[in-house]
Amino acid sequence: MGDKVEVYNSGAWYKATISQIGSDNYKGYYYVQFEKFSNGQWAKAADIKLVTAIVVEKNNGPRNGSYIVVSYSNPSNPIRIGYFELSNGQYTYYTTAKKLIGKGSFSYNASGKMVKWTSGPFKEAKWDGSFETDRDGKTHKIRLNSATIGSNSTDSNL
């Protein structure tokens, strides 16, 4: 009890706290109190996920992992154009079909919150590298140009 969770309800995830563990007719259910609502409800275990603490320090920069590359040249219909993997100062860029486009290196300037592409296809394309986080650090975004971003989220898969 007291665990911070997210509960799936009516097509969306909501932050909540578990206040009771079900038994008898409610076995496999948990009573949750929502953060944004005054009411609570019983929720089955399959609709609950534990919220893990994500500590994001301002100077850490983009985390290692997969970043989906999406172009928003048409805001109502963004296009997924590939993805890249960051790993300790190196990146590998792929098409959506996982075909290798190229590799390169990067550095991160914490004071300016900027990724600098020091070699490879991102440097050749003269892509930007402004860095920001959303959703309490769950999502890391690197702006590649005015209409294209790379996005990494702790709760999504490629």
Report the distance separating Cα 8 and Cα 14, nearest Å: 6
CA–CA distance from 152 to each of 98, 137, 143 (Å)?
17, 10, 12
Beta bridge partners of 42: 31
Residues 70 and 101 grouped into a single domain: yes
Q: What is the span of the domain harbouring residue 38?
A: 4-50
Q: Give residue-wise pLDDT tens across range 63-100.
A: 999 999 999 877 777 888 999 999 999 999 999 998 99
At 49, list the tokens.
Answer: 């996920």
Alpha carbon distance 111, 84 (integer Å): 24
Report the CATH number at residue 149. 2.40.128
Distance CA 142, CA 140 (A): 7
Number of domains in the chain: 2
Answer yes or no: is 96 within a domain.
yes
User: The tokens 């007291």 sit on which residue?
Assistant: 2
- Based on the fold, state whether residues 41 and 76 are members of the same structural domain: no
Same domain flag for 90 and 126: yes
**Res. 37: pLDDT tops 90:** no
Assess if residue 12 is contained within a domain: yes
The CATH number assigned to the domain holding 20 equals: 2.30.30
User: Mind listing the pLDDT tens digit for each residue in 106-125?
Assistant: 999 988 899 999 999 999 99
